[in-house]
Amino acid sequence: MTVESVLLFVLGVVVFIIGLLVSIGLHELGHLSFAKLFNVKVTQYSLGFGKAMWSFKRGETEYGIRPILLGGYISMVGMLKPRASGRPSAITNTGMYGAFVQDARQASAEQIADSGGDDSRAFYRLTRGSASS
Q: Which of 4, 28, 60, 110 is catalytic?
A: 28
Distance CA 48, CA 103 (A): 22
DSSP E strands: which ranges in the chain? 42-49, 54-58, 61-65, 68-76
| Residue 110 bears catalytic tag | no
Residue 60: DSSP 8-state: T
Percent helix / strand / coil, the chain, rounded to 5: 45, 20, 35
Torsion of CA 118, 107, 39, 86, to 10 degrees: -50
Relative to beta strand 54-58, strand 42-49 is: unpaired
Q: Which residues are catalytic?
A: 28
